[in-house]
Amino acid sequence: MMKVLITLFVVVLVDVVASQCNCNTMKWARCDGTPCQCNLQFSSTYKQPIDCTTLIPKCFLMKAEMYRARNNLTTRSIGGKPVESAFVDNDGIYDPECESNGKFKAIQCNNTDVCWCVNSAGVRRSDKGDKNIKCDPVETYWVRLELKHKEVAIPLDATKLKTGIQNALLERYKLDKKFVTDVQYDKDGRLIVVDVKKDIGERVTDLSLMTYYMEKDIKIKPLFFDENKQLEVSVEGTKVSMENILVYYTDEMVPTFTTQRLTVCLVQWLPTF
């Protein structure tokens, strides 16, 4: 009898351990082995080992996404300025070069001879040039999220909104509340403007992690293993979902676009809001 019980116990234990071998923060990862190891496919011959206890670096996610797009697997489409030097990502996706720790290389060429400089969020911050373009690493220290929320039955309390946003970003993206420095609300436009800011010179927090996961959550489908669990902000018991997001990036150094591009970018984006 004891033997049967022990066998049963072992079988149950093995089952539990096996069922836990999946990647909570990345639904496209493939995991196996003991201990459980998860990988993301970048090409037919290269799999990147990833740490699923935390959000996956954006550079790795973009590489995986390009691989999936090339192979017809399901995959991005993306969407005022906090300061004059802030800019949006008008380019969309490319096949990035990543450092081994998942950071973006400062120069990106998308497998072509046309290259440009990106910030730590992988977003282009220079005009396009050739392979000799000089790019220094530049950190994004401030992102502004412009969120449009879906209709709600009860009007939202603007003063409680900041707490709701802070809680949601902490719970879903593990973003410390101190980084949410300001939340503004326009009730009629259903517009929530969230400033996420770290100190200049801080090199521990990567703001691009949260913004990329959030764009996917709102515009496409969650990247998390449980892709049916949606991003929701709770304001005094009212659950609020978002229908659109636009992200502005502000870097420690102003971008080097020519004036012409800045004008184009403004004209293109302002009418949306």
Ligand X SMILES: *[C@@H]1O[C@H](CO)[C@@H](O)[C@H](O)[C@H]1NC(C)=O
Contact residues toward ligand X (CB under 6 A) are 71-72, 91, 94, 110
The side-by-side arrangement of strands in the sheet containing 30-32 is 30-32, 37-41, 47-50
Q: How far is the CB of 83 from ligand X (least distance, A)?
A: 24
Q: How far is the CB of 249 from ligand X (least distance, A)?
A: 15
Identify which of residues 94 and 179 has a Cβ nearer to ligand X in the complex. Answer: 94
Q: How far is the CB of 125 from ligand X (least distance, A)?
A: 13
- HEC string for the chain: CHHHHHHHHHHHHHHHHHHCCCCCCCCCCEEECCCCEEEEECCCCCEEEECCCCCCCHHHHHHHHHHHHHCCCCCCCCCCCCCCCCECCCCCCCCCCECCCCCECCEECCCCCCEEEECCCCCECCCCECCCCCCCCCCEEEEEEEEEECCCCCCCCHHHHHHHHHHHHHHHHCCCHHHEEEEEEECCCCEEEEEEECCCCCCCCCHHHHHHHHHHHHHCCCCCCCCCCCCCEEECCEEECEEEEEEEEEECCCCCCCHHHHHHHHHHHHHHC
Identify which of residues 36 and 69 has a Cβ nearer to ligand X in the complex. Answer: 69
CA distance 57 to 14: 31
State the CB neighbour count (10 A cutoff) for residue 94: 18
Q: How far is the CB of 94 from ligand X (least distance, A)?
A: 4
Identify which of residues 91 and 195 has a Cβ nearer to ligand X in the complex. Answer: 91
Q: How far is the CB of 96 from ligand X (least distance, A)?
A: 10
Q: How far is the CB of 196 from ligand X (least distance, A)?
A: 24
Identify which of residues 27 and 68 has a Cβ nearer to ligand X in the complex. Answer: 68
Identify which of residues 85 and 110 has a Cβ nearer to ligand X in the complex. Answer: 110
Identify which of residues 98 and 180 has a Cβ nearer to ligand X in the complex. Answer: 98
Identify which of residues 71 and 258 has a Cβ nearer to ligand X in the complex. Answer: 71
Q: How far is the CB of 195 from ligand X (least distance, A)?
A: 27
